[in-house]
Amino acid sequence: MLSLLLAAAMAATTAPAWHDGLDWHGVHIAISRDAQHSYTLAWPYGQRVIAAQPLSTDTASPLFDGLFAMAQDDLAQDSVSAIRDGAFDHGQPIPCQCFVTGLKWPYVWTRDLSYAIDLGLWRFDPTRSRNGLKFKLSGVRVPSAPQGLYAMQDTGSGGSWPISTDRVVWFLGARHLLDDKAFAADVYKALGNTLAQDRLYAFDAAFGLYRGETSFLDWREQSYPAWTADQVTFIAQSFALSTNVLHYQALQLAASLADAHHDAKAAAAYRTSAAALKDAINAHFWRADRGMYMSYIGGDGTPYDSYDLLGIALAVDSGVADGERARQALANYPAWPAGSPVIWPERSDQPIYHNRAIWPFVSAYALRAARTTEQPARIAHEIESVMRGAALYGSNMENYELLTQGQHVDEGKLSGPVVNSPRQLWSVAAYLAVVTEGVFGLDEDGSVQPKLPTSLVPMLFGQRHAITLDLRNRRITLQLPENYTGNLLVAGRTATRGTATTVMLKAVQVPDPPLRTDAPLYAPVAPAAPLARADGDGWKITTDGKVRLYLNGQAYGSVDGDGHLARQAGLACLSATRVDAHGLESLHSPATCVGEVTKVTGNWPRTWTAPASGNYRVALDYANDHGPINTGITAAVKMLVIRCDGSDEQRLPIVMPHSVRTQQSTWGSFTAKAGSTCHFALDDGFNMSYLAHFAHYTADNGSDGNGGSSGPLNQAEVHALLVAPLATDRGTP
């Protein structure tokens, strides 16, 4: 079945003219326009009539023009006066003049809204955009906790923040709407508070990175190892490319706003932090053998042969990736005829959703990155993918299957996309971005900087010499040069009269790497965890066949069934991957840790005496049954306070996500001198249930709403304190 789908997809690589319709996998889509500038989009299973809209394009392609009208109509349907979700206020309507997330998601979610605004919704309805963002800000309802205004992390993995830490995406949207003074004041306050809190609870000084889940890719076993389905602590301990880039952008914004507030000291501190974070991202995520940035790495730095398009696109767009790395990272990311997958490689044991899927909003960010790096083939590919998806289903859908661009593919337990909503807000924003940015080159500052592949000229210009975009207060005309050679059309002479801008395009020839279409689809399935038992002066290692073994975050060597590991000076944590014939690695197995671990029990504060001077790792055995693994707001977050004789106080954030059994918390490291007695106290931390907004959380959709309307909750059942010496080195093969 898969080979047939792939063959059909490869046969469709030649794009049609796309004037009055298109053909894809035997399906013909037709569009017509009447004298009143309304459109009728028709396909074998139905049709959609799209009324004339206030904004318009005039090109040689009624399909392009009609889909722009359809995106506006989708946006109008997403514009509401009340929102609802089964987990809030018992599913009753909540007044809000804002955007809903989509037909199947009639609520406001932080990341969906923020990405959609950043992709251009701020241009189309700034008031509604601000209203939605303000809905996702909250004060604190716990008097003893630090007060302030914070961006909210929505319900999510293991009980939300700080397992997921991409709430800073809120500022990606908010940065476009600072012309409102009251809103700008809230942005500056919330930015300072949110960054300070993330620095305290999610920042790892040793790596210089922020911990937490990949942004948007929040269905754990779709993109993380399958065993994280009920072991979320790994995600809380790990580092994600996209989430760190978002923090970099938030720090850059904070520096700019501090300058505007004449706070030179704060601005300098934010810039220093941003520069250090950029260096850390490039040091830890770049994988030279792939020429790409990894999607995430383990909490000990373990590399994962896994990549995601949003993270790479954000890295390019933000300037974290610059020069040759930016060009390589995008050029080396694979593409299929229907579009670019949101993760690569795919998982053969997971259904279609984030796995083996195209998401239009991610394609729009890839388009933005392709414009930044001037890669015409990728620009055209992403524009066509977003257009085709919208045309095929008469709406801007949430996602599509990768090989067919289907809205649902039946493959038994692997069928999907598992969920797929029409008029998904960030998909609507993606089409609007394709038009305004991707084709007409409208930048945030109002300048017009087209970077239009000449391969799209037949579709957009046909026999014309000009195409136009009419916004409410702006008209942009692109004029085609009489004779041209080259692969990219950019701005030549530009003339502006009042609100009308005319750009005479000129053709240039730029280096254009071909799309990477020969990448293998699937990664190998991860092996079981290696087994280790004491064996003389070391450990006998037993593995599930031939694997690549990792020791404390670094590749250690290949093992085929069994091997031997010399006893380490400190904790030795082993994981395994499989490597296929293409050289692709699977995701990692669960880790097996061996070495001396001391369990400290009793009343708090607990005491322990260091047997030697050095660095130690500390965690807690715990259970947290206050919510499902996949949602909620009651991850238990504490601050472990360590006072060792002869040393300064050390404070380590400890996160205890929702669990289905007793397991280990996140861990931190501390130093102690030989013979010193250390006292451990567990102070209160902060979680999302402390925010006043979550008094509306009732969770009548199958969970009990802990931490919501019943009051804040930041507790777990804590068992032993676990202390182990850290390895002085990471071993050699």
Which tokens sit at 225?
């190892």
Find, among 250, 296, 291, the residue nearest to 274 by Cα: 250
Tell me what percent of the chain is helix, strand and coil, each rounded to the nearest 5. Answer: 30, 30, 40
**Per-residue pLDDT, 702:** 56
| Cβ(279)–Cβ(209) below 8 Å | no
CA 639/CA 681 separation, integer angstroms: 8
Q: Strand, coil or helix: what is 291?
A: coil
Q: What would be the CATH architecture of the domain defined by 598-725?
A: Sandwich (2.60)
**What residues pair up with 599 in beta bridges, in sequence order?**
722
The label of the residue with tokens 């790990």 reads 238
pTM of the model: 0.96
CA 400/CA 620 separation, integer angstroms: 42
* Domain parsing of the chain, residue ranges: 531-590, 598-725
Task: Report residue 513 CA to chain centroid gap.
Answer: 25
Find, among 635, 632, 656, 625, the residue nearest to 705 by Cα: 632
| Cβ(484)–Cβ(490) below 8 Å | no
Q: What are phi and psi of 252, to 5 degrees?
A: -65, -45
CA 112/CA 104 separation, integer angstroms: 13
CA 366/CA 437 separation, integer angstroms: 12
Which tokens sit at 8?
């059909």
Beta-strand ranges (E) seen in 272-390 are 286-287, 292-293, 296-297, 307-308, 343-344, 357-358
Which tokens sit at 364?
């729009």
CA 478/CA 457 separation, integer angstroms: 11
Secondary structure in 3-state letters for 380-436: HHHHHHHHHHHHHHCCCCCCEECCCCCCCECCHHHCECCCCCCCCHHHHHHHHHHHH
**Per-residue pLDDT, 360:** 98
DSSP state of 516: B
DSSP state of 593: E
| Cβ(242)–Cβ(215) below 8 Å | yes
Residue 251's alpha-carbon distances to 186, 198, 597, in angstroms, are: 16, 11, 38
CA 574/CA 558 separation, integer angstroms: 12
Which tokens sit at 277?
């974070």
Angle between helices 376-393 and 360-373 (to 10 degrees): 160
Which tokens sit at 584?
């692709």
Q: Maximum Cα–Cα distance for the chain, whole Å?
A: 88
CATH of 531-590, one of 3.10.450.200, 3.40.1440.10, 2.60.40.10, 3.50.50.60: 2.60.40.10
**Per-residue pLDDT, 1:** 39
| Cβ(243)–Cβ(271) below 8 Å | no
**Per-residue pLDDT, 510:** 98
Q: Are strands 474-479 and 500-508 parallel, antiparallel or unpaired?
A: parallel
Angle between helices 181-201 and 241-260 (to 10 degrees): 130
Q: Strand, coil or helix: what is 40?
A: strand
Beta-strand ranges (E) seen in 182-338 are 203-204, 209-210, 239-240, 286-287, 292-293, 296-297, 307-308
**Per-residue pLDDT, 366:** 98
Cβ-based neighbour number of residue 500 at 10 Å? 13
**What residues pair up with 441 in beta bridges, in sequence order?**
none
Which tokens sit at 538?
């070391």
Find, among 254, 232, 281, the residue nearest to 657 by Cα: 232
Run of H or E residues at 285: helix 264-285
CA 614/CA 253 separation, integer angstroms: 39
Nearby residues of 119 by Cβ (< 8 Å), 6 or more positions away = 361, 364, 365, 426, 429, 430, 432, 433
Residue numbers in the chain where pLDDT is lower than 70? 1-16, 701-703, 728-733
Which tokens sit at 659?
């669990």
CA 370/CA 376 separation, integer angstroms: 7
CA 424/CA 638 separation, integer angstroms: 37
**Per-residue pLDDT, 189:** 98
**What residues pair up with 555 in beta bridges, in sequence order?**
550
Which tokens sit at 305?
């042969």
531-590 shares its CATH topology with 598-725: no
CA 249/CA 318 separation, integer angstroms: 7
CA 368/CA 85 separation, integer angstroms: 32
